[in-house]
């Protein structure tokens, strides 16, 4: 089988697994991990080798842009304490412990061991959010998990690039330290600066298929520019997305937003499928290269790393939860986390796309590369399947799905929006009877004088939607609705506005 045939087969399997996962309440990344590993045992599947730099840009840049564009800054500001513990503390602790295991057990050089630790350190919240999105969980817990997934990649990839450069004799410790000191603020500055010309360019591609394509190209170009300038590509993409999302006149049209969300969801799913397929191919080639007496020692070492990764995160999260419950200064204005919330966050440590991509990015001459890559794959598989499949039962056992009811939040928000709509309609006397609008649309060809009346109705409707959007933004900024509820309500307003716009503004042009 060629790579294209293998990808097509796995895509069909992935679509089937997605339907199964949706019906039985399992996270689809766990199902993809199982399917990807099954590829390792399918005879005739073609092998593929990715350029190291291409792997990181291809898989990580679009996912980061998508997540960062949607993450509210007000949430990050409110949750900075637990986020710092997870983004810095948990990542550094995991890297250090795994590095010690790699050095003491596998005999890896210390820099290579740090590279392994950085590869397996950052959790990917895709599997967690695939489960928690269908359950009623405390909003703070969900926001912490999503914020961590966005920002911990920067910490891990900075460690990865620095240790990799030192291992491959590309710089002294002092030079690498200076590089990191420049890469962090430089990457952020680059992302902020590039957001301005990119938004100017996007104005000319608006309401076309090219606008969606430009979003993906932008993510990859920013990553590559930062990489060529030896700056943090992760922080450049994140800073660009956050700046673009929160700058004046950043909002896109409802039609483009509805179209873009659907396209991005499909492409991110495709990237995950491709990554797990490549993982299976490389895992098979690694197992074929290992001598017969070397397979079990490699698997034992991988198992030890898996246990260390899971245990380290759990200990760090539980320790911070204990401190936060005892000390007001440790948690700030946040409510003290319950033991159940700490257990859940500690267990939501599934590794995924970032770990796979960084493993692909290792050069062929890296010390014991096969062992390191196989260990990374083992961590992804064990955490996605072991933790991912037990996450929903754990949530129900802890009773966390009964702590808050998102339906109450949505009802309160919709009530506020309806009240705003009624207030706005009082200033539009033409909007008394919606039935007349449908009659007028039916009769407008025979009675041209109805066109002005229809325009007045549409104008009143658009004014209502505009007022509701302003109120929804105030609810989000005041943290009266969570980000997930915000996007549900925003989509409802988008569809409502689309029904009121002229026909030519409801289309996506091909050029």
Six token digits for residue 125:
């919240």
The predicted pLDDT at position 308 comes to 95
- According to DSSP, residue 431 is labeled -
Helix (H, G, I), strand (E, B) or coil at 509: strand
Residues 360 and 358: their CA atoms lie apart, in Å, by 5
Helix (H, G, I), strand (E, B) or coil at 430: coil
Domain 1-403 class in CATH: mainly alpha
Six token digits for residue 407:
């339906």
Positive or negative torsion for Cα 437, 439, 443, 447: negative
CB within 8 Å of 182: residues ≥ 6 apart: 230, 231
Task: Tell me which residue of 251, 272, 325 sits closest to 69, measured CA to CA.
Answer: 251
Q: How far apart are the first and last CA of the chain?
A: 36
426: phi then psi, degrees, rounded to nearest 5: -65, -20
The predicted pLDDT at position 455 comes to 77
From the number of C-beta atoms within 10 Å of its C-beta (0-12, 13-18, 19+), residue 193 rates as middle
Helix (H, G, I), strand (E, B) or coil at 50: coil
Residues 88 and 83: their CA atoms lie apart, in Å, by 8
CB atoms closer than 10 angstroms to residue 61: 26
The predicted pLDDT at position 504 comes to 58
Residue range(s) in the chain whose domain bears CATH number 1.20.1530.20: 1-403
pLDDT < 70 positions in the chain:
1-3, 7, 25-26, 40, 44-53, 70, 72-75, 125-137, 169-176, 179, 205-209, 247-252, 292, 401-407, 422, 425-445, 503-511
CB atoms closer than 10 angstroms to residue 132: 25
């Amino acid at each position: 089988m060629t790579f294209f045939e293998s990808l097509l087969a796995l895509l069909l399997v992935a679509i089937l697994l997605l339907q199964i996962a949706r019906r039985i309440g399992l996270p689809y990344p766990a199902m993809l991990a199982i399917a990807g590993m099954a590829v390792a045992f399918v005879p005739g599947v073609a092998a593929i080798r990715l350029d190291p730099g291409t792997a990181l840009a291809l898989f990580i840049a679009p996912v980061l842009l998508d997540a960062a564009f949607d993450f509210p800054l007000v949430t990050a500001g409110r949750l900075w304490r637990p986020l710092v513990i997870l983004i810095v503390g948990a990542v550094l602790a995991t890297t250090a412990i795994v590095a010690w295991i790699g050095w003491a057990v596998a005999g890896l050089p210390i820099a290579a061991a740090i590279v392994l630790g950085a590869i397996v350190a950052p959790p990917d919240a895709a599997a967690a959010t695939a489960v928690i999105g269908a359950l009623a969980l405390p909003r703070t817990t969900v926001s912490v998990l999503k914020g961590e997934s966005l920002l911990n990649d920067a910490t891990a990839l900075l460690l990865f690039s620095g240790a990799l450069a030192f291992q491959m004799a590309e710089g002294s410790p002092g030079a690498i330290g200076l590089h990191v000191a420049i890469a962090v603020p430089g990457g952020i500055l680059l992302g902020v600066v590039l957001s301005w010309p990119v938004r100017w360019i996007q104005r000319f591609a608006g309401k076309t298929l090219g606008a969606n394509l430009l979003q993906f190209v932008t993510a990859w170009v920013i990553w590559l520019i930062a990489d060529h300038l030896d700056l943090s590509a992760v922080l450049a993409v994140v800073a660009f997305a956050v700046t673009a999302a929160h700058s004046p006149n950043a909002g896109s049209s409802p039609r483009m937003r509805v179209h873009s969300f659907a396209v991005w969801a499909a492409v991110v799913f495709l990237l995950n499928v491709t990554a797990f397929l490549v993982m299976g191919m490389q895992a098979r080639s690694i197992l074929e290269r290992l001598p017969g007496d070397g397979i079990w020692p490699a698997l034992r070492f991988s198992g030890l790393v898996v246990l260390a990764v899971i245990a380290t995160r759990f200990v760090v999260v539980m320790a911070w939860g204990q401190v936060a419950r005892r000390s007001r200064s440790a948690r700030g204005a946040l409510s003290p986390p319950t033991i159940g919330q700490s257990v859940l966050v500690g267990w939501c440590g599934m590794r995924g796309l970032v770990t796979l991509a960084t493993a692909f990015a290792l050069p062929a001459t890296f010390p014991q590369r096969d062992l390191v890559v196989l260990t990374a794959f083992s961590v992804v598989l064990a955490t996605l399947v072991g933790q991912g499949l037990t996450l929903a039962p754990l949530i129900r056992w802890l009773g966390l799905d009964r702590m808050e009811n998102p339906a109450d939040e949505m009802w309160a928000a919709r009530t506020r929006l309806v009240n705003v709509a009624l207030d706005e309609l009082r200033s539009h006397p033409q909007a008394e009877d919606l039935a007349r609008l449908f009659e007028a649309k039916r009769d407008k060809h025979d009675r041209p004088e109805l066109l002005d009346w229809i325009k007045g109705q549409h104008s009143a409707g658009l004014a209502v939607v505009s007022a509701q959007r302003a109120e929804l933004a105030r609810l989000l900024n005041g943290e009266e609705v969570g980000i997930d509820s915000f996007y549900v309500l925003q989509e409802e307003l988008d569809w409502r506005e689309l029904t009121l716009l002229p026909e030519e503004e409801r289309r996506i042009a091909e050029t």
